[in-house]
Amino acid sequence: MEKIQMTTPLVEMDGDEMTRVLWAMIKEKLILPFVELRTEYYDLGLLHRNETRDQVTIDAANATKRLGVAVKCATITPNKQRMEEYPQLTEMWKSPNGTIRAILDGTAFRAPILLPCIHPVVKNWKAPITIARHAYGDMYKAVDFLTQEPGTATLTFQADSGAQQSLTVQHVDGGAVWQGMHNTTNSIRAFARSCFQYAIDTRQDLWFSTKDTISKVYDGTFKSIFEEEYETRYRAEFEKLGLQYFYTLIDDAVARVIRSRGGFIWALKNYDGDVMSDMVATAFGSLAMMTSVLVSPDGTMEFEASHGTVTRHYYRYLKGEKTSTNPIATIFAWSGAFKRRGELDQLPALVRFGEAMEQASLETLESGVMTGDLVSLVDEGFEATAVSSEEFLDAIAARLVEKLA
């Protein structure tokens, strides 16, 4: 079989633990036999980030801006426990995803992959709910500290012009914890435009929710920018396509989402999107069945799995045990990157290959061959067999050969 040729490289960001193992398996079994793979490779494994003082993450993000398409493996964001597990670390490095999102100024769109044999926990959900997560600022770029004595905290903005604004945060009588976070109006506007454009491209209604009744200035700014962008740039196209833009408070939105049938985009601030995307993924079936694509205003895209590095399975793997780790979200990250690269470079064969990867994966699952996390979720009466990760990828590869023959 003649290999599919690529003209422009993808940015390839390798990761950590079990997902790094799956990354290599996917390349070996599903990609390299069929594609003359061209990538700019960046090792975002935790120890290499430590060796480069996280410069490799910045380099990978800038390469993505230059080449337009990236695919990323899951990575570790170290906490206190991870610092103990990895004593070589010289610093508690920040989230690589947060760094990349800040540089690309993108919006993360996450959507569940549906299977006929797995019905959502929320029985009235009939279509996917796509989470649009603002991928800049808020507590992911916040500063915080702990104090132990009485005193007063103030928040001060010192303008370059020399002007100054200041307000009192709180006076406390004893120990307290403090946090200061920010966003920029340019990033909020880019977030809004990405959401409206993605809704138009995918022909879905757009919901947006914050808590502007409590956070009147911070969340209120998000609300007003979304309204301004809709009225001045997108209302006509939305009405032409029969689409709806809907704003409500986030607590009301949660109730509406649970009662809905799905089939819309739910735009959320950074932290809200982080939490709700996991809730939606789990309610539809599994975090391992959630696609994620970071979309910049200029069309740059970074594809990744939305789950973590599957640490528990990795330690079993290190002991020589076989694991049944679900690789679907990582496969769909690669397939999404191939389809986008093929679209940009006008390579229909590469687009078809990405589509074939997805079809072969879904058909394998629908045949009842799947990883252990899904077997317990299938509908009563559906016959499913749990296999190891390697056996599962072999089954997908066999179907992929048939589709590409």
Nearest to 333 by CA among 101, 16, 26, 7: 26
Q: Is residue 184 pLDDT above 90, yes or no?
A: yes
Verify that 33 and 86 share a domain, yes or no.
yes
Q: pLDDT-based confidence at 156, cuts 50/70/90? A: very high
Instruction: Please indicate, yes or no, if residue 289 is contained in any of the structural domains.
Output: no
**Structural domain harbouring 205:** 119-137+183-284
Angle (nearest 5°) at CA 145 between 142 and 149: 150
For residue 140, the model assigns a pLDDT of 82
Cβ contacts of residue 5 below 8 Å, gap of 6+?
36, 347, 349
Residue 375 sits at φ, ψ, to 5 deg, of -60, -40
Give the model confidence (pLDDT) of 15-51 as tens digits.
Answer: 999 999 999 999 999 999 999 999 999 999 999 999 9
Verify that 16 and 33 share a domain, yes or no.
yes
CA distance 392 to 383: 16
Nearest to 111 by CA among 328, 311, 369: 328
For residue 307, the model assigns a pLDDT of 87
Cβ contacts of residue 247 below 8 Å, gap of 6+?
207, 208, 209, 223, 226, 227
* Domain stop point among 284, 319, 339: 284
Instruction: Please indicate, yes or no, if residue 291 is contained in any of the structural domains.
Output: no
Q: pLDDT-based confidence at 135, cuts 50/70/90? A: confident
Instruction: Please indicate, yes or no, if residue 294 is contained in any of the structural domains.
Output: no
Q: Domain holding 373: CATH number? A: 3.40.718.10
Verify that 133 and 266 share a domain, yes or no.
yes
Instruction: Please indicate, yes or no, if residue 113 is contained in any of the structural domains.
Output: no
Give the model confidence (pLDDT) of 109-129 as tens digits.
Answer: 999 999 999 989 999 999 999
Spatial contact of 52 and 65, defined as CB atoms under 8 Å apart: no
End-to-end Cα spacing for the chain: 7
Verify that 81 and 161 share a domain, yes or no.
no
Nearest to 23 by CA among 378, 365, 333: 333
Q: Is residue 106 pLDDT above 90, yes or no?
A: no
Q: Which two tokens stand for residue 12?
A: 């390839």
DSSP helix/strand/coil, 115: strand
Instruction: Please indicate, yes or no, if residue 190 is contained in any of the structural domains.
Output: yes
Angle (nearest 5°) at CA 377 between 396 and 130: 80
Instruction: Please indicate, yes or no, if residue 219 is contained in any of the structural domains.
Output: yes
Cα Rg of the chain, angstroms = 22
Verify that 215 and 315 share a domain, yes or no.
no
* Domain stop point among 284, 316, 343: 284
Verify that 347 and 231 share a domain, yes or no.
no
Give the model confidence (pLDDT) of 330-356 as tens digits.
Answer: 999 999 999 999 999 999 999 999 999
For residue 303, the model assigns a pLDDT of 97
Give the model confidence (pLDDT) of 356-382 as tens digits.
Answer: 999 999 999 999 999 999 998 999 899
CA distance 55 to 71: 18
What are the distances in angstroms from CA 118 to CA 9, 368, 382? 36, 11, 9
Give the model confidence (pLDDT) of 263-299 as tens digits.
Answer: 999 999 999 998 999 899 889 988 889 999 999 888 8
Verify that 251 and 213 share a domain, yes or no.
yes
Verify that 148 and 218 share a domain, yes or no.
no
Instruction: Please indicate, yes or no, if residue 148 is contained in any of the structural domains.
Output: yes
Instruction: Indicate the number of domains in the chain.
Output: 3
Calculate what percentage of the chain has a pLDDT beyond 70: 100
Q: Is residue 57 pLDDT above 80, yes or no?
A: yes
Instruction: Please indicate, yes or no, if residue 295 is contained in any of the structural domains.
Output: no
Verify that 361 and 386 share a domain, yes or no.
yes
For residue 243, the model assigns a pLDDT of 98
CA distance 209 to 250: 5
Q: Which two tokens stand for residue 338?
A: 């191939």
Q: pLDDT-based confidence at 98, cuts 50/70/90? A: confident
Spatial contact of 234 and 196, defined as CB atoms under 8 Å apart: yes
* Domain stop point among 221, 255, 284: 284
Verify that 130 and 248 share a domain, yes or no.
yes
Q: Is residue 248 pLDDT above 80, yes or no?
A: yes
Verify that 376 and 331 share a domain, yes or no.
yes
pTM here?
A: 0.87
Cross-strand pairs, 130: 265
Q: Is residue 1 pLDDT above 80, yes or no?
A: no
Parallel/antiparallel/unpaired status of strands 35-36 and 39-43:
unpaired
What are the distances in angstroms from CA 253 to CA 217, 257, 316? 20, 6, 40
Verify that 50 and 103 share a domain, yes or no.
yes
- Span 129-138, mean pLDDT? 92
